[in-house]
Amino acid sequence: MALLDKLFGARNAKNAPDSRQSVHSEAEQSGSSSAHEAARLLRAPTALMQLSEAEALTIVGFMTPHRFTSGTVIIRQGEATDTGFMVLVLDGEITVENLIGHRVNPVTVNVLGPGSLIGEMALVDGAARSATCTASTDVHCAVLTRDALEALIAKRPATAAKLMTAVAQRLAERLRESIHKQQIYSKLLQSLQEELDALMPTPDRKR
């Protein structure tokens, strides 16, 4: 993976791209109260709580503030080209929806508030988006683009490695939760099938 190659490829920091054109400088960010609040939210249990305060502040220094008005589709399920960013919610709410199977209307699977992350999976692997995320209120957020992540990897590789590890742990937790839910669903289906068999026995069982 290109990002991992850059992270572990021992690039020289003096050859790192200058991120000041696309992101706030670390010096500008580190002293502001808004940066400290963003760093606090980045370390929330719903985000990347494995990060230290200093690491979170450094990462925030590579993020850009952004506002989405209510009703804006921030991420669209199946989108395979615009995958180069993740979003940290600072204020407001985002509705997460999935279009499942042959359903016409999407299913709301979550509503996320401050301290939540969206888009981190596609930021890492570049694959198509797995859900649609829509601003259900006006949303104030901080955005980490892939270019900014590459600049972080080049300038602060240790912090970038901690970020990638935290994201991987977050994704692993979500995978475990999904597997657990599938196991519960499977047990429920088995119980329902057993009840149906008891109420409507097959001819073979009648004999």
Q: What is the mean pLDDT of the chain?
A: 81
The answer to whether the beta carbons of residues 86 and 143 sit under 8 Å apart is: yes
Decide which of 1.10.533.10, 1.10.260.40, 3.30.70.100, 2.60.120.10 is the CATH code for 2-206: 2.60.120.10
Q: Using a cut of 0.75, tell me whether the model's pTM lies above it.
A: no
Query: Would you list the domain boundaries of the chain?
Result: 2-206
Report pLDDT digits (tens) over 106-150: 889 899 999 999 999 888 888 899 899 999 999 999 999 999 999
Q: What is the arithmetic mean of pLDDT over 78-84? A: 90
Please give the pLDDT value at position 138.
97
Instruction: Name 107's bridge partners.
Output: 98
Q: Calculate ∠ Cα 22-23-24, nearest 5°.
A: 140
Report pLDDT digits (tens) over 168-183: 888 877 676 667 667 7
Residue given tokens 């957020």 in the structure block:
141
Q: How many angstroms separate the Cα of 160 from the Cα of each of 10, 56, 111, 141, 184?
A: 13, 10, 28, 20, 36
Please give the pLDDT value at position 13.
36
- Strand arrangement, sheet containing 64-68: 64-68, 139-145, 85-91, 117-118
